[in-house]
Structure 1
Amino acid sequence: MSRSRRDLVWIPTFAVLVAFAVPWPLWGVDRVVAGLPVWIWWHVAWLGLCTVLFSLFVRSGAWERGMGRQPGSKSESPLGGDRQ
């Protein structure tokens, strides 16, 4: 199966998200902002970024193409009926 260049962009994007999910640059930093350690704020911001990028990934149709489906096509639900 060949993939479009648009779909191939998501592979390094998600690799970077995984690589920086752990706050490597903040190891050993004891700074506190608004009552929480800086590394917790890193995770809050990172999860927000992941949410936005995953939303773009799904809206682009790459999720369906990766699962072997055509974007926008109807498929049967696991319970037997058509999805609405």
Structure 2
Amino acid sequence: MSRPALWGWIAVAIGLSALTIPWFLWGDATLVAGVPLWLWWHVGWMGLASLVFWLFARRFWGLGIESDSDSSGGSPGSGSRVDAGGERR
């Protein structure tokens, strides 16, 4: 993947983390359907974070970790086996 995609996902992760705790709702006693507004924020935020993680896992898993070149000298299809721990045999 490209470097802009890596930096984009880093920005998304920082943004999701920064707004996880609704600091701006502290001390607010507003109730919606009998539940505090800050709790609704968490429910909605968990849903958004789940969707973002689903998108990341579907299309960008391994971004910044895996490289296009293989440093061990062989590709997975060249006769080497990868065990459950990820090590080549």
Same fold (TM over 0.5): yes
- Output the aligned Cα RMSD: 2.6
**Aligned-partner Cα distance in 2 for 1:65–1:16:** 18
* Unaligned 5+ runs, structure 2: 69-75
Aligned-pair identity (%) = 36
TM-score calculated relative to the size of structure 2 = 0.70
Higher RCO (C-alpha under 8 Å, 6+ residues apart): 2
TM-score calculated relative to the size of structure 1 = 0.74
The structure whose residues are more often helix, as a share, is 1
AA paired with 2:41? Answer: W
Question: Is 1:14 aligned to 2:13, yes or no?
Answer: yes
* Unaligned 5+ runs, structure 1: 79-84
Give the aligned length: 76
Partner of residue 83, structure 2: 76
